[in-house]
Chain A
Amino acid sequence: MATTLDKVDVVTVGAGWTGGIIAAEAAKAGLKVVSIERGRERGTEDFLRVHDEYRYAIRYELMQDLSKETITFRNKRDQRALPMRTMGSFLLGEGLGGAGTHWNGQTWRFLPYDFEIKTLSDKKYGADKLGPEYQLQDWGITYDELEPYYDTFEKTAGLSGDDTNPFAGKRSNPFPTPPMKKTPILQKFENATKDLGYTAFMIPSANLSEAYTNPDGQTINACMYCGFCERFGCEYGAKTSPEITVIPTARETGNFEVRFHSNVVEVLHEGGKATGVRYVNWMSGEEFIQPAETVVLTSYVMNNAKLLMVSDIGEMYDPKTGRGTLGRNYCYQILPGATGFFDEQFNTFMGAGSLGMAIDDFNGDNFDHSDLDFLHGSLLTMTQTGVRPIATNPVPPDTPSWGAEFKKASIENYTRVLSVGSEGASLPHRDNYLTLDPTYKDAYGVPLLQLTYNFTDQDRALHKFITEKAVEIMEEMGAKQTIGSNPITDYDIVPYQTTHNTGGTVMGADPATSVVNNYLQHWDMDNLFVVGAGNFAHNGGYNPTGTVGALAYRAAEGIIKYSKEGGSLV
């Protein structure tokens, strides 16, 4: 029997970037906010002994406890989906700050092209260049409309960068802090790309080049380049994270509470309105109902979609008919690249999560696709994030994978290998989607989310193209041996690739093809907002968090407006 608690103005599911941003903005506006977080309280003081590759990077200390909940996966519909029993392809976060604690901090704006991809591609290349099975669609918002929210997020984060990317959308303000250090490794990339006629610039970084106090009065410290960023928390408070910015901002208002160890299992609703959430405190085993004027789903892509599905809100996507919106347009990314072996040694063990340079010459529609069999593209990067010895054992081709020769080669090359990386855009396909699993359940008896996903011909063509560019750059950098990525075959959930999952609760201008409007307000329920990378109508050629942050500020504005005026915001 669930205990019903006192009603609040806003309840968020999870206290990471999106929940934190909405909590901070709503609480500042005087609304009473509760975040229901299944993980633990944590902060900078918990990371003083964090330089432990085994615990954090290999055994996933900060990640979701899959014994309680995971997803199931298959490549295609005629296969049996099976649980992702161990973490692999992507790393789900848990606890205060969510994935915003263990991220690298590479913080991008998507290109103006991304938001109008359907209109612009059709106009330039004719209707459905890729074929009708690719469900490209505009986002229902333009870059110019989203720009002020990007600006706000960047100021909250104190982003470090330079404004020299010739392909970037127009900025209303410069980066809040100067770019990170251009190390010798990065200079090598800059010189090579310049020689090839491209324009390299510093990756916008949420590891800050200098101490910074944001407009909310929260201070982020200067990065020490310790080389332990992704999969770790920052012991200096120098990697912008929810728990050092928006969470304390929300708490300082006196209008905000985070309720820990509490797992939301259902969104309650009645008569077309959300009434609150039901959750289980997994420490006591007690069940609670938290009523709220406005319910905001701010957990990860997977769980936002799952909560809508198990709560029977919206129409499930059916890949056979193309009807329904919930679970539609799940996208990921591809990671073509090139590895270069050098004679000289580099300080590759030093670094920061967002330390790097990039070129955008082959991203978005920054180059002509008329004679190419794909759309979109990828940034190409040289990062120096700090390589660690358990995970990094590079050896040239034709070396055994164990034994004496392996040992010698992996030690020799640990500091003699550089890689050109990328994050190839992922375009929605009819057969890639999210639904509920019919067999497997989580620790609370709720069905697991089921992912059906495979790489597409678009992915394969783009992968090949970007790999060639990466090889070209690495060769120009002077590697004695350059190895390009192997062509992609089937998506495999085992090896780590990227935690850039998107879609399933897509935003848009048309309720027939989107779950939420451009305030992230649910089409069927005015007082329900769904916020995160799940809103992406496709995935761009960058890290997603900058756009997630911008969308969260947009949603926060909508939530505050809704609290005063009610009704649909569009």
Chain B
Amino acid sequence: MADEKKDVSRRDFLKTAGVATGALVGGGVIGGLIGYNAKDGGNATKEGERSGGRADQSAGSPSGRMFFTNDHDFNILSEATERIFPEDDLGPGAIGLGVPYFIDHQLAGAYGNNEKEYMQGPFYAPQATQGYQSRLRRKDIFLQGIHKMEQEAQNRFETSFAELDGDQMDEIITAFQKDEVEMEGVSAAFFFRLLRSAVLEGAYSDPMYGGNKGMEGWKMKGFPGHQAAYIDKIDSEDFVEIDPQSLGGHH
């Protein structure tokens, strides 16, 4: 499976390669580009404890749903995000960080509706270099993708996706990554890329968006969030550890 990931990633992400691997010139994509060379499995992690995920909600928190109407779909999304960014000894995974709620909120708004994007037809199948050409909006792609993941789970294991073992979930996610699943109006590989990006966005965006709960994503990564200035620290020869700060806690 891992070698398959490697191949897929080359095709999907290194196509252009005009970009220095991992380079940040001009700021951008990118850090992860090198990483798309996947090799050994490594996806099968132990099931850790999870907090604040799935369909549980508590009053007064961002953990409410604006987009997903039923628990079933939301639980599938939650489990898939956790496979992409699992809890480990470094800290919480996607569910613990509130990533499923982040994605839910985003799908309900400008992101899910492609508000700032050119959505006029006609629509044609693109060359690989021409990018997003679907008539579907992201909210429709996510919902369809989740339904297809469930369908794959039923076809392959006669079990709901959310009830599968980690390895089985990974098999299905990898099938999407490799574009082996048929979707309508969009490719499975494109859905996978959207999903993967959304997970990282939820893990590391400001907690005011509903993910990165307790700034735990930033704490794991050593990113201090919103800091006014580093002018008195940037000359330091040593790595400087700084308690992160959120825009949300800054009124």
Contact = CB atoms under 8 A, between A and B. Distances in A.
Nearest to A102: B27
Interface string A341-368: 0001111011101000000000000000
A229 B81 CA distance: 30
Interface stretch (A16-24, A128-136, A490-498): A490-498
Nearest to A492: B16
Q: Counting chain B CB atoms within 10 Å of each CB, which of A227, A400, A470, A500 scores highest?
A: A400
- Chain A binding site: helix, strand, loop or mixed by DSSP? loop
A486 interface: yes
A495 B28 contact: yes
Contact of B235 (A184, A408, A490): A184
A405 to B, nearest CB: 3
Contact of A79 (B31, B41, B127): B127
Q: Counting chain B CB atoms within 10 Å of each CB, which of A59, A338, A384, A403 scores highest?
A: A403
A399 B40 CA distance: 7
A385 interface: yes
A392 B28 CA distance: 8
Contacts of B229: 224-226
Given A67-B116, A394-B22, A400-B5, A417 B124 contact: no
A497 B43 contact: no
A83 to B, nearest CB: 5
A320 interface: no
Chain B, interface size: which category?
35 or more
Contact of B218 (A104, A389, A463): A389
A349 B218 CA distance: 11
Given A225-B229, A404-B88, A410-B31, A70 B118 contact: yes
B181 interface: no
A293 interface: no
A492 B128 contact: yes
B28 to A, nearest CB: 3
B90 A497 contact: no
Nearest to A412: B90
B20 A54 contact: no
B35 A393 contact: yes
Contact of A392 (B31, B45, B170, B231): B31
Contact of B28 (A54, A383, A391): A391
Contacts of A165: none
Contacts of B205: 52-54, 58, 390
Given A347-B240, A392-B31, A414 B223 contact: yes
B204 A398 contact: no
B3 to A, nearest CB: 10
Given A226-B229, A395-B35, A487-B17, A495 B29 contact: yes
Given A395-B32, A405-B43, A410-B35, 13 more contacts: A67-B117, A80-B124, A84-B131, A224-B228, A339-B20, A339-B23, A398-B6, A402-B83, A407-B88, A485-B23, A488-B17, A488-B18, A492-B16
Interface of B: 2, 5-6, 9, 13-45, 83-86, 88, 90, 93, 110-111, 114-120, 122, 124, 126-133, 170, 173, 177, 196, 199-201, 204-206, 209, 217-218, 220-231, 233-237, 239-240, 247, 250
